[in-house]
């Protein structure tokens, strides 16, 4: 799982943890998965993202 944050945020980190817990629940238990968090102000189009974007931040 890859997440891109514009700035560091305790609230966002908690949300990411919650997403992983919900993912595990859907998989009927512990599921090995890497969680990568990139904190950058770079435009999303310029960031190489592997896989499918499920939710993206709003860009101006």
With respect to residue 19, please indicate whether it lies within any of the assigned structural domains.
yes
Q: Say what the pLDDT of residue 58 is.
A: 67
With respect to residue 51, please indicate whether it lies within any of the assigned structural domains.
no
With respect to residue 56, please indicate whether it lies within any of the assigned structural domains.
no
With respect to residue 58, please indicate whether it lies within any of the assigned structural domains.
no
With respect to residue 57, please indicate whether it lies within any of the assigned structural domains.
no
With respect to residue 17, please indicate whether it lies within any of the assigned structural domains.
yes
List pLDDT tens digits, range 10-57. 999 999 999 988 888 888 777 788 888 889 888 888 888 877 777 666
More confident residue, 16 or 60: 16
Domain region containing 17: 2-46
With respect to residue 31, please indicate whether it lies within any of the assigned structural domains.
yes
With respect to residue 53, please indicate whether it lies within any of the assigned structural domains.
no
State how many domains the chain has.
1
Q: Helix or strand or coil: residue 22?
A: helix
């Amino acid at each position: 799982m890859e997440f891109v944050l514009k700035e560091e945020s305790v609230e966002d980190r908690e949300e990411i943890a919650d997403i992983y817990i919900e993912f595990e629940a859907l998989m009927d238990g512990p599921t090995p998965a890497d969680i990568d968090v990139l904190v950058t102000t770079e435009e999303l189009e310029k960031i190489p993202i592997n896989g499918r974007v499920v939710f993206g931040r709003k860009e101006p």
